[in-house]
Amino acid sequence: MRGKLISFEGGDGVGKSTQLTLLADGLTSAGKQVLCTREPGGTALAEQIRRWVLHDKGAIAPVTELLLIFAARCQHIIEVIEPNLASGKWVLCDRFTDASYAYQGGGRGIPGATIQQVEAVATAGLLPDLTLLLDMPVEYGEQRSVGRGEGSDRFEAQEKDFKIRIRAAYQARQQSDPGRVRLVNALESVDVVQAQVWSLVSALLGQEDE
Ligand code: TYD
pLDDT digits (tens, 9 = 90+) for 117-134: 999 999 999 999 999 999
Among 8-22, 59-73, 154-168, where is mean pLDDT lowest? 154-168
User: What mean pLDDT do residues 196-201 have?
Assistant: 97
Angle (nearest 5°) at CA 26 between 96 and 184: 50
Specify the pLDDT at position 209: 55
- Given a cut of 70, whether residue 135 has pLDDT beyond it is yes
* Coil, helix or strand at residue 88: coil
CA nearest 133: which of 85, 191, 179? 179
pLDDT value of residue 151: 65
Q: Give the C-alpha distances (Å, rounded to integers) separating 9 from 30, 87, 98.
A: 23, 25, 7
Average pLDDT over residues 154-160: 83
**Residue 11 CB less than 6 A away from ligand 1:** no
Q: Name the residue of 5, 95, 158, 167 to mutate for ligand 1: max ligand atoms within 8 A of Cβ.
A: 95
Mean pLDDT over the full length of the chain = 94
Say which CATH topology domain 5-206 has.
Answer: Rossmann fold (3.40.50)
Q: What percent of the chain has pLDDT over 70?
A: 95
pLDDT in tens, 85-97: 999 999 999 999 9
Residue 95 CA to ligand 1 centre (angstroms): 7
**Amino acid letter for position 61:** A
Give the nearest ligand 1 atom to 70 CA: 22
pLDDT value at position 41?
98
pLDDT band of residue 36 (cuts 50, 70, 90) is very high
Of the ranges 38-42, 66-70, 157-161, 181-185, which one carries the lowest mean pLDDT score?
Answer: 157-161
Confidence at residue 144, expressed as pLDDT on a 0 to 100 scale: 74
Atom of ligand 1 nearest to the CA of 97: 22
pLDDT at position 57, please?
83
Nearest to 53 by CA among 42, 43, 66, 44: 66
- pLDDT of residue 150 exceeding 70: no
